[in-house]
Structure 1
């Protein structure tokens, strides 16, 4: 189980990463807490707008949870318990969060594995202050131990004093300085050469026996005799034999000129390495080669890119078409409502209009002129209100279309990101093909050398 988290910014990049359906076989948005939007990008934009009112530069905390695929799968209750436990440990309880599950095929083993991404907003909505995330690395390590204990899982890394002791025991000064890189350690090499030296007193027998063990005696440039190991590393022969001086080595082996040079010994080691038959490694989970796995994943990625790109654009086109139709209906409904209100006002005025003698009296007194002025003023105010309503409706409709157009830009950025992923895997496949071709060439060289040795 690996918990990896960090504070970060960039709502768009984070949303594109979490909604990447090309690298992942399946993407499931499990939870969007404290968000009015139904999409990841909309939720992150809401939280980012709140963070713009603060001085916080990294308003998000992103965490990835990767269980060990070699152990058992987690249940839904265990996932929920782990999320709540980590949230409380980090001090992010009650903060807006998004939970997304990814299912991805591993490049090495070809197995489907499930991992989780959690994103919290660090901004407290009441105080508009960012929650401090210091020492989150140690909190996550503590959570790893506690969750492993609760779920009865095994963790493979050591901590504290055990880790320091393990490093001391595994540290090799010779390896750190570029030495002792042959298949055996320095101590084992010295013990083997010392044993062969004492067992074989004849120079030719000693040379042949050491060659069988992977060590070729050669003439040195600055020393009389050296040993070339399997990795073409050079070692002084006198220093590889305990209790023996350089004079004793010269007395037993004779003239250095009768032995191959260092370059000739390295060539012999390369030939031996090329002709050595490698035992095929058994694969427990899958029999496909790495090249075949990458090719299969690349083919699935290409199919998903075509399918998802077409589906996204069709969905956006349907949304824009339905929005335009709805906007037209809303405008017709508003105009019908305004005409109905205007007709109702005219009917009420007609009923209130005096007739006969009352009309003549109101005309003489000037009341009819006052009513005409009052109704004209009401008409002007009503026309202004109607224009304002139409303007507000047009603005809201325009904002909705602009939002849909922004989603079109988001689709373009998503496709660019998916194209980069496809290009990255294509390069991997090309490198793997180059490696495979090199291995095949080396196999042909090995077979040619074997035929040459068999003929001679």
Structure 2
């Protein structure tokens, strides 16, 4: 189970993110401890109010727990992992919230603690928390018998195509998979041995080399999005400078954006927008199925919750009726009969709670299996969409180079191939070089 934590502020924004049921199939506020409020937003406001009595800027600690894909992890296993992380971080008995998310057939959890010690009115220090969380995570993989990620065995083997929050936000804007973008830029880097060759390879895929504000070298696409070359290629700053030269010789990010935007004529923009819409339609059917499935699954869970609540009330009344009142109650207290009844009721409550939790877990397990089946279909649709977007990037670069918008195609895939081949043959016949760009 991968554990990722960070110290942060802005509890209201965090609550909004954790309760977001638009990007998640299912969201469950599982537990609130140490709060007066009975909702997550109110709990985060309480944390912020307490923190105002201190000078702590990041009064929350947020932790995400991601088990291996396709592993059936029980609620108890999540709770045990959270408790262990809590102990290692020194956050025992601190106000805490737990939220479960289900998305794309996977279930993961989020835990949020207040770092403010209410008695001393001081923030709890969390030195080396990343190292401690990695230790807990490694132990969980070993104890559960899960296949440990290569990055845990050796830091050098970490996934080079992993992406950050900022890159995830780019996904939402551009609809492009950051792994695909990184893979493409890595191919351009691996296939070139100087700046001229690298720039040519980038331009063929609709990326332009530029000077970043803080990141040295960056790539700018025709949409104006910026990608760090150090992160995309995995190369060190020294290696980048050795191959690409002085970054001050390149256009700045803003100037590169302006240069690219000047080449995007209104007709080319309209054509690109049309092509993006075609690519988006590829997975609309799967998205519709997903929405229908999620609504149906939510109804099943709501029905189960209502059924369990009604049954719980009935059973509570039955348990209350067992305890004698009045003179009989007094006599039962003297003889110890009431104590026996209370123990029987407590045992029955434990069994009922276990029964209800198992019923819920069984439904979640079945629904996750159903969702994974659909996810495989959506993955295929997404791969086709990504292929169309990558083809679009190349066509846009070629259209900007030739100053000619491709003719409208009848079908997205075959037509795109014919249009691209036609444009490339025109390029070869004109004998244009890779450094050519239309006048500003």
TM-score by length of 1: 0.39
Instruction: Please report the TM-score for the alignment, with normalisation by the length of structure 2.
Output: 0.41
Larger Rg: 1
